[in-house]
């Protein structure tokens, strides 16, 4: 699967990360990764499992990402309620509301894996169980709780854990995603649904890949994800089918654009490391060194980073004065010019445009003339 | 985003201060708006946690739900808010004015002023809409009876939240939206969603520069989020223990109130600063006209609620209602866009940049030109206008200038000048009386500066929709009037 010997890549990534345990990817971070596939900095840091949050604190640009205990409590309570009694409530709903033909139910909790919770063991168990179900082995199961799936990202396997997978006898497997945001009169928060759709698409992709590996038809994994949310203002779950075909297309394209880790690593100084020098829980490496190390890997900041990357405040400060920092549309309207100052000097006629920029410069001059005229 | 807005953002970066995007104000700012800053409990479906509300900046009312998961306490909150909001709304129903209709043959009446609800941001509008939804279908008798003010509050909040989406309406305003419409900051629109940061760029607090103020705004200790979402660190470290303490011993109620007030108060002050800043701009010419529409809308809803058995808004629109709403919104958007361009040269400049309008100077005028080609002699003056704008309009296009709205000008020819720019030949009709001699001033004179555009402020004919009872069966047939069911009335709010 990989061209470069795994060991050398692994060793290089370990060196980049330093003497701490790696931070693992999850569906949310993959979604974020594909939200900015052109950013090498993030690709490298995530591949090496660098703790970006700790890093942002250490270099003085902490990003206030956090989850409220109220949200966590409610999310857990809702998931527990949906899964209670072998998902009894959920199954009734799948049959009645979505017309899914789920016959005999066997519920498998794959979270604990018989007490041995290591990732490898859990993944192997999920493989075996799902293989059995896909092959139609009697009693192999209908619902799989928290199976551990794998997905190669930039050449490395990342482990993922969907809430549930349901197996509909006769044909299809569905990813089931349990979210605690409400669906009110058939409508939910657009942003939250969109995020859930991308995350679920990551799971669909991972499950399809597993099918392929096991020699089953990957199309048996449905692109219709089952989203389970509380209905209206109650705790009652309601299921909605969510078609994630579009998200799958985008995701596949973005993942293929993510450079292979080994290619990325080859461009880096072999001595480079993001090690924070953590001793007794405190980072001891001078922050200036860490900042310099970050500077070695090119970033591609946009305001979208603010919602999804722990380094966004740092990268934003670094991008000050660029049109990137103002957002994609502003940058486009300014003719894609890199620096705000350049755009303004072109608009004021204080900078002679190159041939390619002649048209942009003309438009900027016209715009500035009108603006000045209207405000005088 | 347009080139002019992008340019304004670039200038704001360099000047380190917000830059105006308009020359006038396009929203109405009432003399006595009701400011509403709600907070919701994280993770729940629109569970109110606390709110500051009031029309007096010196005396906000603090409402608190001590245990936000408790249904009875939520309804108590809704009732308390309901009394405040309803008192405020009623205070606008004392004075009416006559409006001539039917060419002055009849008059109808409308309230001479209307309420205005101002929330910090679009999420505040969404919260209000859902609070309306969770209260308007309740019953005041039978099991789960609520205070009569609760369903009434629900109807009003629903009404206001709907108006918030109506282009040009100012009955309910989201502060960040109103400010961003009038100023460009040196940050991105993502960061502009933070009220403290946005207002920091426009009107920083004493002793802070705009850039410093925007940086301060990201420190949740200095500037808690403007809601309805709370700061997770506040939830975990302060609110959660405070709720637990109060649960153990109700004497801790004041402590809980204080904690919640600390999260709301900074935003309360920001809201009034925003109102001052917006109020300081002079209103565009058509703001009053749109506010009159808002007053009509308010009057109509008051009348409806006072009628026989008024029903709450349905859970979902019927097919016809949805189509009608969409068409109304589109039309309102059109009118609003045109009015803003007419009121504001800086907005019109967007159309000039796009080539749909041009400004220039009259270089030649033939005010007495007669067209006799069709047999009947008609007064058809012609003028030449020199413009440097990137014109895209072509011969045959009909345009008009704001100063002579009744006069149509048809582009006869456009020639490119060697010196740069264009010379536009225009033929004029209308707005010159009935004789064959144009009255003085009715035809633009040499040297006059004009802005011609193809925008038309005339209202489009309303699309014709079948009345509700005539909805074709293909669209589900006539909708049932929405009568709330028992289930609605006792719906969980947990
Ligand atoms: S914040 Fe920086 S590292 Fe993170 S994705 Fe954006 S540019 Fe890349």
Q: How far apart are CA A233 and CA B78, in angstroms?
A: 15
Task: State the Cα–Cα distance between residues B462 and A283, nearest whole angstrom.
Answer: 67
Give the closest-approach CA distance of A340 to chain B in angstroms.
6
Q: How far apart are CA B199 and CA B205, in angstroms?
A: 9
Min distance A187 CA to chain B CA atoms (Å): 10
The helix-helix angle for B240-248 and B253-279 (nearest 10°) equals 140
pTM: 0.91
Structure-model confidence comparison of residues A122 and A249, the more confident one: A249
**Complex ipTM more than 0.90, yes or no:** no
Model confidence pLDDT, tens digit, residues A76-99: 999 998 888 878 888 888 877 667
Nearest CB among B4, B8, B494 relative to A234 is that of B494
Is the bond leading into B228 cis (omega within 30 degrees of zero)?
yes
Instruction: Look up tokens 């009744």; give the residue.
Output: B406
Mean pLDDT of B344-356: 94
Rounded mean pLDDT, B351-364: 94
Q: Ligand 1 centre and the CA of A77: distance in Å?
A: 34
State how far residue B108 is from chain A, nearest Cα, in angstroms: 37
Strands, E assignment, B90-224:
96-101, 106-111, 117-119, 172-174, 183-184
Cross-chain residue pair A333–B189, CB shorter than 8 Å: no
Compare CB distances from A368 to B7, B190, B389 and report the shortest one's residue. B7
Q: How far is A361 from chain B (nearest CA, A)?
A: 12
How does DSSP assign A30-74, residue by residue?
A: HHHHHHSTT-HHHHHHHHTT--HHHHHHHTT--------HHHHHH
**Spacing, Cα B16 to ligand 1 middle (Å):** 24
Do the strands B48-54 and B61-64 form a parallel or antiparallel pair, or are they unpaired?
Answer: antiparallel
Yes or no, beta carbons of A66 and B233 under 8 Å apart: yes
Asked whether residue B491 is assigned to any structural domain, the reply reads no
Cross-chain residue pair A233–B134, CB shorter than 8 Å: yes
**End-to-end C-alpha distance for chain B, whole angstroms:** 41
pLDDT (tens digit per residue) in B42-84: 998 899 999 999 999 999 999 999 998 888 999 999 999 999 9
Q: Is residue B493 part of a domain?
A: no
Q: Do B7 and A375 touch (CB under 8 A)?
A: no
Q: For A274-294, what is each residue's pLDDT tens digit?
A: 999 888 888 889 999 999 999
Using a CB-CB distance cutoff of 8 angstroms, which residues of chain B are in contact with residue A359?
Answer: none
Count how many pairs of residues, chain A against chain B, have C-beta atoms within 8 Å.
152
Q: How far apart are CA A78 and CA A75, in angstroms?
A: 5
> Same domain, yes or no, for B327 and B272?
no
Residue A171 is encoded by which pair of tokens?
């044909």
Q: Is residue B119 part of a domain?
A: yes
pLDDT given for residue A186 in this prediction: 86
Q: How far apart are CA B219 and CA B231, in angstroms?
A: 10
Instruction: Give which of B2, B3, B487 to mutate to test A binding, by max A Cβ within 10 Å.
Output: B3
pLDDT value of residue A154: 67
Report pLDDT for A10. 80
One domain for residues B332 and B298: no
**CB–CB of A203/A160 below 8 Å?**
yes
Q: Are residues B171 and B302 in the same domain?
A: yes
Distance (angstroms) between ligand 1 centre and the Cα of B209 equals: 27
- Which residues does B193 contact at the CB level (< 8 Å), separation at least 6? B121, B176
Least confident of A29-33, A125-129, B369-373, B472-476: B472-476
Tell me the chain A residues in contact with residue B5 when contact means C-beta distances shorter than 8 Å: 330, 333
Find the Cα–Cα–Cα–Cα dihedral A128, A129, A134, A139, rounded to 10°: 130
Question: How many domains does chain B contain in total?
Answer: 3
| Mutation target among B130, B131, B232 for the A interface, most CBs of A within 10 A | B232
Which of A29, A44, A264, A299 has the most ligand 1 atoms within 8 A of CB, as the residue to mutate? A299
Give the three-class secondary structure for A162: coil
> Which of B8, B9, B13 should be substituted to probe chain A, the one whose Cβ sees the most A Cβ atoms within 10 Å?
B13
Ligand 1 contacts (CB < 6 A) are: A 36, 39, 41-42, 299-301, 305, 309, 311-312, 315
Residue B335 lies in a domain: yes
Nearest to A327 among B46, B190, B352 (CB): B190
8 Å CB contact of A234 and B7: no
**A160 vs A26: CA distance, rounded Å:** 6
Same domain as B381, residue B248: no
Instruction: Give domain status of residue B306, yes or no.
Output: yes
Looking at residue A2, what is its pLDDT? 41
Report the length, in residues, of chain A: 376
**pLDDT band (50, 70, 90) for residue B459:** very low
Q: Tell me, in angstroms, the distance from the centre of ligand 1 to residue B200's CA.
A: 25
pLDDT at A21 exceeding the cut of 70: yes
What pLDDT, in 10s, does the model give residues A225-279? 999 999 988 888 998 889 999 999 988 887 877 667 788 888 898 889 999 988 8
- Choose the residue to mutate in A38, A309, A320 for probing ligand 1, maximizing ligand atoms within 8 Å of C-beta: A309
Which of chain A's residues have a Cβ under 8 Å away from the Cβ of B240? 69-70
Please give the structure tokens belonging to residue B151.
């369903």
Q: Is-contact A196 A179, C-beta < 8 A?
A: yes
* Whether residue B462 sits in one domain with residue B443: no
Contact B43 A71 (CB under 8 A): yes
Shortest Cα distance, chain A CAs vs residue B395, angstroms: 23
SS3 B171: coil
> Given this model, what pLDDT does residue B470 score?
54
Atom of ligand 1 nearest to the CA of A300: 7
Whether residues B247 and B375 share a domain: the answer is: no
Q: What whole-number distance in Å separates Cα of residue B300 and Cα of residue B109?
A: 10
Cα(A293)–Cα(A276) distance, integer angstroms: 11
Q: Give yes or no: residues B72 and B198 share one domain.
A: yes
- Closest residue in chain B to residue A327, using alpha carbons only: B188
Output phi, psi for B192, to 5 deg. Answer: -65, -20
Q: Which helix (H) or strand (E) is B421 found in, with range? A: none
* pLDDT score of A6: 46
Q: Is residue B431 one of the residues assigned to a domain? A: yes
Cα–Cα dist B125/B133, whole Å: 12
- B488 in a domain, yes or no? no
My answer on whether B411 and B296 are in the same domain is no
Residues B297 and B337 in one domain: no
Mutation test residue for ligand 1: of A63, A301, A304, A310, the one with most atoms within 8 Å of CB: A301
Helices B253-279 and B175-182: angle between axes, nearest 10 degrees: 30
Domain that holds residue B393: 358-453
Please give the distance, rounded to the nearest whole angstrom, from the Cα atom of residue A302 to the centre of ligand 1: 8
Model confidence pLDDT, tens digit, residues B358-403: 999 999 999 999 988 888 889 999 999 999 999 999 999 999 998 8
Q: Measured between alpha carbons, how far is A350 from A368 in angstroms, rounded to an integer?
A: 13
Q: From the CA atom positions of chain B, what is the Rg in Å? A: 27
In this prediction, residue A119 has a pLDDT band, given cuts at 50, 70 and 90, of confident
Strand arrangement, sheet containing B61-64: B61-64, B48-54, B34-40, B117-119, B172-174
Of the partner residues A181, A303, A374, the one whose CB lies closest to the CB of residue B349 = A374
Among A64, A233, A323, beta carbon nearest to B491 = A233
3-state helix, strand, coil in chain A (%, to 5): 50, 15, 40
Please tell me whether residues B305 and B342 are part of one structural domain.
no
Task: Give per-residue pLDDT as tens, B185-201.
Answer: 999 999 999 999 999 99
Whether B484 is covered by a domain: the verdict is no
**β-strand partners of B379:** B370
Query: Which residues in chain A are contacts of B7 at CB distance < 8 A?
Result: 333-334, 343, 347, 364, 367-368, 371
Which residues of chain B lie closer than 8 angstroms to A323, CB-CB? 10
Sort out which chain B residues have CB atoms less than 8 A from A369's CB and list them: 388
B269 burial (CB, 10 Å; 0-12 / 13-18 / 19+) is middle
Residues in A closer than 8 angstroms to B489, CB to CB, are: none
- Confidence (pLDDT) at B427: 96
| Radius of gyration of chain A, Cα coordinates, nearest whole angstrom | 24
- Name all domains of chain A by residue range, CATH numbers in brackets: 69-256 (3.90.320), 325-375 (no CATH)
* B206 in the same domain as B97: yes
Q: Are residues B397 and B270 in the same domain?
A: no
When the pLDDT of each residue in chain A is averaged and rounded to a whole number, the result is: 86
Q: How far is the CA of A311 from the centre of ligand 1 (A)?
A: 6
């Amino acid at each position: 699967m990989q061209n470069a010997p795994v060991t050398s890549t692994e060793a290089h990534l370990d060196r980049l990360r330093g003497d701490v345990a790696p931070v693992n990817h999850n569906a949310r971070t993959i979604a974020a990764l594909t939200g900015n596939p052109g950013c090498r900095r993030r690709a490298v840091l995530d591949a090496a499992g660098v703790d970006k949050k700790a890093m942002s604190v250490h270099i003085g640009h902490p990003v206030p990402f956090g989850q409220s205990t109220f949200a966590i409590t409610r999310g857990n309570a809702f998931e527990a309620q949906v899964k209670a009694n072998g998902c009894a409530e959920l199954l009734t709903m799948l049959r009645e509301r979505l017309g899914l033909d789920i016959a005999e139910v066997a519920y498998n909790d794959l979270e604990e894996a018989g007490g041995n919770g290591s990732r490898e063991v859990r993944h192997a168990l999920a493989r075996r169980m799902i293989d059995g179900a896909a092959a139609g082995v009697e009693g192999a199961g209908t619902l799989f709780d928290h199976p551990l799936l794998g997905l190669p990202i930039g050449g490395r396997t990342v482990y993922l854990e969907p809430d549930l997978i349901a197996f509909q006898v006769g044909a299809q497997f569905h990813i089931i995603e349990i979210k605690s945001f409400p669906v009110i009169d058939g409508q939910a928060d657009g942003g939250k649904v969109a995020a859930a759709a991308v995350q679920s698409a990551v799971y669909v992709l991972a499950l399809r890949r597993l099918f392929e590996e096991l020699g089953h038809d990957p199309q048996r994994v449905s692109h219709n994800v089952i989203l389970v949310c509380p209905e209206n203002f109650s705790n009652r779950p309601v299921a909605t089918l969510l078609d994630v075909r579009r998200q799958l297309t985008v995701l596949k394209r973005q993942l293929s654009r993510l450079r292979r880790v080994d290619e990325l690593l080859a461009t880096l100084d072999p001595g480079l490391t993001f090690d924070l020098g953590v001793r007794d829980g405190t980072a001891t490496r001078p922050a200036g060194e860490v900042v310099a190390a970050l500077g070695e890997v090119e970033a591609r900041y946009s305001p979208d980073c603010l919602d999804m990357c722990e380094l966004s405040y740092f990268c934003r400060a670094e991008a000050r004065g660029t049109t990137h920092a103002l957002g994609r549309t502003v940058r486009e309207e300014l003719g894609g010019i890199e620096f705000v100052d350049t755009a303004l000097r072109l608009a004021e006629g204080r900078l002679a445009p190159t041939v390619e920029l002649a048209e942009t410069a003309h438009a900027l001059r016209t715009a500035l003339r009108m603006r000045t005229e209207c405000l005088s | 985003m347009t080139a002019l807005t992008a340019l304004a953002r670039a200038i704001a970066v360099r000047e380190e201060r917000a830059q105006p995007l308009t020359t006038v104000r396009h929203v109405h700012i009432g003399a006595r708006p009701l400011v509403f800053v709600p907070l919701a409990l994280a993770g729940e479906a629109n569970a109110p946690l606390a709110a500051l509300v009031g029309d007096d900046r010196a005396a906000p009312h603090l409402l608190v739900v001590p245990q936000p998961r408790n249904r009875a306490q939520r309804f108590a909150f809704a009732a308390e808010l309901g009394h405040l909001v309803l008192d405020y709304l009623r205070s606008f129903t004392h004075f009416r004015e006559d409006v001539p209709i039917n060419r002055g043959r009849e008059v109808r009446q409308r309230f001479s002023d209307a309420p205005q609800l101002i929330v910090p941001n679009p999420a505040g509008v969404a919260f209000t809409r859902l609070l309306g939804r969770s209260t308007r279908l309740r019953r005041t008798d039978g099991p789960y009876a609520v205070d009569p003010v609760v369903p009434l509050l629900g109807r009003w909040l629903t009404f206001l939240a709907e108006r918030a989406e109506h282009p040009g309406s100012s009955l309910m305003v989201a502060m960040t939206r109103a400010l961003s419409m009038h100023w460009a900051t040196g940050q991105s629109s993502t960061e502009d969603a933070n009220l403290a940061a946005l207002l920091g760029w426009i009107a920083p607090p004493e002793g802070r520069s705009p850039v410093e103020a925007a940086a301060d705004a990201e420190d949740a200790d200095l500037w808690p989020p403007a809601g309805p979402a709370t700061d997770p660190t506040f939830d975990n470290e302060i609110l959660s223990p405070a709720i637990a303490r109060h649960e153990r011993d109700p004497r801790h109620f004041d402590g809980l109130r204080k904690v919640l007030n600390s999260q709301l108060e900074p935003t309360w002050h920001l809201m009034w600063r925003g109102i001052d800043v917006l109020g300081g701009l002079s209103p565009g010419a058509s703001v009053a006209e749109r506010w009159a529409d808002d007053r009509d809308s308010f009057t109509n809803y008051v009348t409806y609620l006072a009628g026989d058995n008024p029903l709450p808004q349905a859970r979902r629109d019927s097919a016809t209602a949805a189509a009608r709403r969409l068409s109304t919104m589109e039309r309102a958007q059109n009118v609003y866009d045109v009015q803003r361009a007419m009121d504001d040269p800086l907005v019109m400049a967007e159309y000039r940049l796009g080539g749909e309008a041009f400004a220039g100077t009259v270089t030649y005028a033939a005010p007495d030109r007669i067209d006799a080609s069709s047999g009947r002699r008609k007064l058809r003056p012609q003028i030449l206008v020199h413009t440097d704008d990137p014109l895209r309009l072509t011969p045959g296009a009909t345009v008009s200038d704001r100063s002579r709205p009744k006069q149509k000008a048809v582009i006869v020819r456009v020639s490119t000048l060697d010196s740069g720019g264009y010379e536009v030949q225009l033929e004029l009709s209308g707005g010159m009386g009935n004789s064959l001699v144009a009255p003085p001033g009715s035809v633009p004179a040499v040297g006059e500066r004009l802005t011609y555009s193809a925008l038309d402020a005339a209202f489009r004919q309303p699309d014709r929709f079948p009345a509700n009872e005539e909805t074709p069966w293909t669209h589900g047939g006539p909708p049932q009037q929405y009568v709330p069911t028992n289930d609605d009335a006792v719906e969980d709010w947990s």
